Amino acid sequence: MAIAISAEKPSSVETGLSPLSSPPPVILTQDELKKIAAYKAVEFVESGMVLGLGTGSTAKHAVDRIGELLRQGKLTNIVGIPTSKKTHEQAVSLGIPLSDLDSYPVVDLAIDGADEVDPFMNLVKGRGGSLLREKMVEGACKKFVVIVDESKLVPHLGGSGLAMPVEVVPYCWKFTAKRLQDLFEDCGCVAKLRTTGEQPFVTDNGNYVIDLYLKKDIGDLKVASDNILRLAGVVEHGMFLDMATTVIVASELGVTIRNK
């Protein structure tokens, strides 16, 4: 798989390589890096597009920017397809016209964050809980631009040691969690119900999320994906394989754009 890589340094990012007489380098916060990636992605948006609007703290910056450009008249005739109730609310508050996949089954471009990005542009998504709608919308896109700060880059999916989310129906969720854990027993998998306080976290679709914590590389991702989806009780998982067409990574050193 050929991956083209180009790097650009946004004017607001210091490299730390300035001459001694320059002011000290500005250290950007993770949120500022997210915003830089998001604004770069919005440069791909053109008037008249049907846009998948992602969910999470990085995607929020992109949605804000789209709203701003619409207000300024620099973008017109946009239709947004939100990937969560939260993004729906944000887009409504910004006056972005919205619709859904029933009316627009083909989406021109989606912009969304990710929890992990591997060297082949495979993703883990859904730590914000919106994986199902994200996968539906982003799977219907001609172009899917992923926006991350560099902390999201991993050598292999599951490599951050954080959760690999799986959306499951609430019915007998313990049974499904056990089957998921058994599936990846060799990877030292621990399956945990995601909670909000004492209560199960409930997705926009009324389902629960089982977070898988993996101690070892999950191996062949396609096989892992098929095995998860084969379990009755599973609705969707957070591995987004071969879906991203562009990944924009913001770091202290600048912005890197990878294209498939």
Residue 134 touching ligand 5RP (CB under 6 A): yes
Three-state DSSP class for residue 147: strand
Residue 172: CB atoms within 10 A of its CB come to: 12
Pick the closer one to ligand 5RP by CB: 104 or 201: 201
Directed axis angle between helix 85-93 and helix 57-71, to 10°? 30
Which of residues 52, 56, 80, 233 is near ligand 5RP by CB under 6 A? 56
Can you say how many angstroms the Cα of residue 230 is from the centroid of all Cα atoms in its chain? Answer: 24
Which of residues 41, 114, 137, 209 is near ligand 5RP by CB under 6 A? 114
Which residues in the 35-54 window bind ligand 5RP by CB under 6 A? Answer: 54
Q: Which stretch binds ligand 5RP (CB under 6 A): 21-29, 91-99, 109-117, 177-185?
A: 109-117
Residue 9: CB atoms within 10 A of its CB come to: 11
Residue 125 touching ligand 5RP (CB under 6 A): yes
What is the residue whose two structure tokens read 């948006």? 45
Active-site entry in 43, 68, 89, 134: 134
Q: Which residues contact 198 (CB under 8 A, 6 or more apart)?
A: none
Pick the closer one to ligand 5RP by CB: 55 or 251: 55
Pick the closer one to ligand 5RP by CB: 40 or 125: 125
Pick the closer one to ligand 5RP by CB: 54 or 67: 54
Q: Is residue 134 among the annotated active site residues?
A: yes
The residues with which 254 forms a beta bridge, in sequence order, are 251
| Torsion sign across C-alpha atoms 62, 68, 70, 75 | negative
Least distance in angstroms from the C-beta of 53 to ligand 5RP: 11
The residues with which 37 forms a beta bridge, in sequence order, are none
Least distance in angstroms from the C-beta of 152 to ligand 5RP: 7
Within 13 A of 85's CA, how many CA atoms are on the CB side? 6
Contact between residue 59 and residue 126 where contact means Cβ atoms under 8 Å apart: no
Contact between residue 164 and residue 179 where contact means Cβ atoms under 8 Å apart: no
Which residues in the 173-232 window bind ligand 5RP by CB under 6 A? Answer: none
Least distance in angstroms from the C-beta of 169 to ligand 5RP: 18
Residue 55 touching ligand 5RP (CB under 6 A): yes
Which of residues 67, 82, 126, 233 is near ligand 5RP by CB under 6 A? 126
Catalytically annotated residues: 134
Instruction: Tell me which residues touch ligand 5RP (CB under 6 A).
Output: 54-59, 112-115, 125-131, 134
